Structure 1
């Protein structure tokens, strides 16, 4: 059986535990705290599926021009041929890559990781 905590019980636990929720966290730890902190196993997160897309390029065109497109039309994009392409994970820029072919399948060779890497994915 599980019991639910009331707001009063929760406040008591926070106050008795010496937690000050009004105190801002600056993300710094002293050496003693850092050695006492247990290592967190993050392998669970490796099982979460994410959506990886390759963005070749983009452009902005007026709707009128888009409505006049037929099968022989060419839309000029904003990247030069040979420029690295954007790899996005769940819509956030993750890396720059070039397209390769391996055993008849397309693949991506990562040529540059973005400065924030996976940090942008948590937003």
Structure 2
């Protein structure tokens, strides 16, 4: 038989953690260093591209009704004329806005921003 079968199993009582002071592990790091690190990490995320979408309205309809729709058909949507439009970032609601025209291009003017992780991240 080999010597490896004669070895005993690992015993957790053999470990001695009494010499470690884990409570004070982070005490040596100055507060300014952790703040600078957090700011630097947020700066990294500021360069990640996201898709901003202005959603006019929507409607859930049966596929059969959609298949019968043709040129000139009208599908009534769930938003009233004049209501603020939904602004979504990567599919998640960010807030509400109205459409504006800037230099012959469409734009949006934010009316309100939904409280979320997105708004608290930049603060």
TM-score, structure 1 normalization: 0.66
Alignment pair present for 1:80 and 2:80: yes
Q: What is the CA-CA distance between 1:81 and the residue it aligns to? A: 0.6
What RMSD in Å do the two structures reach over aligned CA positions?
2.7
Q: What is the CA-CA distance between 1:18 and the residue it aligns to? A: 2.1
Question: What do residues 26-77 of structure 1 show as CA deviations (whole Å, max 9, x unaligned)?
Answer: xxxxxx9xx8262122211111001111111111111111011111001000
- What secondary structure sits across from 2:88 in the alignment? strand
Q: What is the CA-CA distance between 1:117 and the residue it aligns to? A: 5.3
Q: What is the CA-CA distance between 1:116 and the residue it aligns to? A: 1.5
Q: What is the CA-CA distance between 1:17 and the residue it aligns to? A: 6.6
* Rg larger in structure: 2
Gaps of 5+ in 2: 1-19
CA distance in 1, matches of 2:21, 2:111: 49
Q: What is the CA-CA distance between 1:119 and the residue it aligns to? A: 6.2
Match of 1:18 in 2: 22
TM-score, structure 2 normalization: 0.66
Alignment pair present for 1:95 and 2:88: no
Total equivalences in the alignment:
93
